[in-house]
Amino acid sequence: MSAVATAQEGASGPSTKALLELDNLEVLYGNVSLALRGISFTVPERGVVAILGPNGAGKTSTIRAISGLLPIHGGSIRSGDILLDGKSIRGAKPDKLVATGLAQVPEGRLVFAHLSVTDNLRLGATQRKRGGVGDSMDQVFDLFPVLKERRKQQAGWLSGGEQQMVAIGRALMASPRLLLLDEVSLGLAPLAIELIFERLREVRRELGTTMLLVEQNARVALDFADHGYIVESGRVVLDGPTSELSQNEEVQRSYLGGGASGERVSYASTKRYRRRKRWLS
């Protein structure tokens, strides 16, 4: 179903081997509400995949299912499987998953407000074996110099953008192979968003980390990722290389605010259009 971008292959680009694979995943909340109705996609090693879609589509549920945080929110996997490196991680505990190289930057940042920035970062390294923690912290400070300035401050006093850096830095401290980014742009000023994504590009260049990002900001996401999946009401309705997706007419109408010839289309007319043309029955 999904076609991996074949244009860039080689040492610095995404490989053909899938690091993460979701196979017909169904996620249930509280035994009544089906949030994901059979989602499948793959994230190739060293690749960046974006999941897009409107509110309530099931994007965060996908991330929670992967990182093992569903039970905290009253959810469970009803059927389907999640494979990391070919091995099933369905039902695995969150702390074990971090040990196997998975780290999450959660929606809403969730920094430890009363702890210092340094302590926040140290906690990210909980599952690391002894050595290298100091080096990782230096790396994070290189990436986000403003955190180094504020490293003794309590994280709760930082601005939204700085807290997002703390959250990303904390995830990077785990030396992850796969980085899950949940709505990283939410609530941030446009300049902050630009800065964050520029740094994420740097992470990708320097460390080759595989990334899966969930975004409502379609423009930024399509710009950043190699491959995209559009999720609506718990199902994947469209996917493809991001270069193609940004040219797709439906995508432009529904998510990029543009019409066929690139002019701005009002949301009201888009809604009418969508009601007439349905991708799902």
Applying CB under 8 A, the residues found at the interface with other proteins are 67-69, 72, 93-95, 98-99, 103-104, 106, 110-115, 119, 122-127, 154, 156-157, 170, 174
CB of 198 to other proteins, least distance (A): 24
3-state secondary structure of 43: strand
Q: Which tokens belong to 228?
A: 């995209």
The residue (of 51 and 230) whose beta carbon lies closer to other proteins is 51
CB of 82 to other proteins, least distance (A): 16
CB of 34 to other proteins, least distance (A): 17
Rounded CA-CA distance 171/102 in Å is 9
CB of 101 to other proteins, least distance (A): 11
The residue (of 104 and 217) whose beta carbon lies closer to other proteins is 104
CB of 14 to other proteins, least distance (A): 25
> DSSP letter at 279?
S
CB of 140 to other proteins, least distance (A): 14
| Whether the Cβ atoms of residue 165 and residue 139 lie closer than 8 Å to each other | no
Rounded CA-CA distance 159/161 in Å is 6
The residue (of 67 and 217) whose beta carbon lies closer to other proteins is 67
Q: Which tokens belong to 17?
A: 């081997």
3-state secondary structure of 128: coil
The residue (of 169 and 228) whose beta carbon lies closer to other proteins is 169
Rounded CA-CA distance 258/222 in Å is 14
The residue (of 125 and 220) whose beta carbon lies closer to other proteins is 125
CB of 104 to other proteins, least distance (A): 5
Q: Smallest Cα–Cα separation from 133: which of 167, 175, 96, 177? A: 175
Bridge partners (DSSP) listed for residue 236? 231
Q: Smallest Cα–Cα separation from 65: which of 36, 33, 86? A: 36
Q: What does residue 74 show for φ and ψ, rounded to 5 degrees?
A: 80, 20
What's the Cα-to-Cα distance from 91 to each of 67, 73, 115, 214, 251, rounded to whole Å? Answer: 9, 14, 30, 21, 34
The residue (of 172 and 196) whose beta carbon lies closer to other proteins is 172
The residue (of 107 and 232) whose beta carbon lies closer to other proteins is 107
Q: Which tokens belong to 272?
A: 């009418």
